[in-house]
Amino acid sequence: MGTLTGIFLDTGRIDEIRKYHAQGIIRGVTTNPTILSKDGVTGGWSGIEKRCKEIAALISPLPVSVEVTTNDLEGMLDQARKFAAWAGNINVKIPIHGPDGETENLKLVNELEKSHNIRVNVTAMMSAQQCLLAAMAGATYVSIFGGRINNMGYDSRQEVRRLRSLLESFSSPAKIIVGSTREVLNIVEWFEAGADIVTAVPSLLEGMLVHPYSKETVKMFLQDAERLQKG
């Protein structure tokens, strides 16, 4: 088993990040331009830069993953260097390959990690074999989309277990991120299967925390205490 890192909050909203960071229960943040736009960021790249810097400063030294918006190699390199310059705890999300199966992305991953000292999170992966190659290319994080694997009719836990075994066999330091989280149960199951990190939207954290029987029990405690005080 790897050393558990914890939950990365999947959001671009400062209020949500501040809330869960103050509780001490997140170990990083993942975001991308789609999430940032949905969460109200405007102003193009200047708006994205401002929000990412704000997030990075808020949770430092915990990591923030920011995804590139192009599949052009030079464009990805330029964006990666720009993102990484915004803050020391920003790492860059690079997809495993292009939309038509173009295979040059791992060359960029290797270059960013080894030549530019930029931490990379290789994303959009659906199998242990993809993640193994990303780890061999030098990626700090390898992100497998567990929810989408389940949606395809396969048990994502088997892929996570297989990946954990492979990385340990190769003594790879890459951290396993499991994302595309659909339900609260996924989070604990993927940690049990060997994930280092699971990404979760705020509503899933709320679902982990709040239990109807806990609410009922707390209400009973308070009612009993009130009766005692009335004597």
Backbone dihedral angles phi then psi of residue 107, each to the nearest 5 degrees: -60, -40
Domain assignment present for residue 1? The answer is no
Q: Which two tokens stand for residue 180?
A: 């595309």
Collapsing DSSP states into helix, strand and coil, what is residue 130? helix
Q: What angle do CA 145, 148, 154 make, to 5 degrees?
A: 105
Specify the number of domains making up the chain: 1
Q: What is the pLDDT at residue 2?
A: 43
**Strand, helix or coil for residue 211:** coil
pLDDT of residue 4: 58
Q: 56 near 86, Cβ under 8 Å?
A: yes
User: Can you give the pLDDT of all 231 residues of the chain as single tens digits?
Assistant: 445 589 999 999 999 999 999 999 999 999 987 888 888 899 999 999 999 999 999 999 999 999 999 999 999 999 999 999 999 999 999 999 999 999 999 999 999 999 999 999 999 999 999 999 999 999 999 999 999 999 999 999 999 999 999 999 999 999 999 999 999 999 999 999 999 999 999 999 999 999 999 999 999 999 999 989 886
Half-sphere exposure of 3 (CA within 13 A, CB side): 4
pLDDT score, position 231:
67
The pLDDT value recorded for residue 33 is 79
Indicate the pTM of the whole model.
0.94
Domain span at residue 77 reads 6-230
Catalytic positions are 93
Residue 174 lies in a domain: yes
Is residue 207 in a domain? yes
Question: Phi, psi (5° rounding) for residue 210?
Answer: -95, 125
pLDDT at 80: 98
Domain annotation covers residue 198: yes
How many of the other CB atoms lie within 10 Å of CB of 89?
18
CATH of the domain at 219: 3.20.20.70
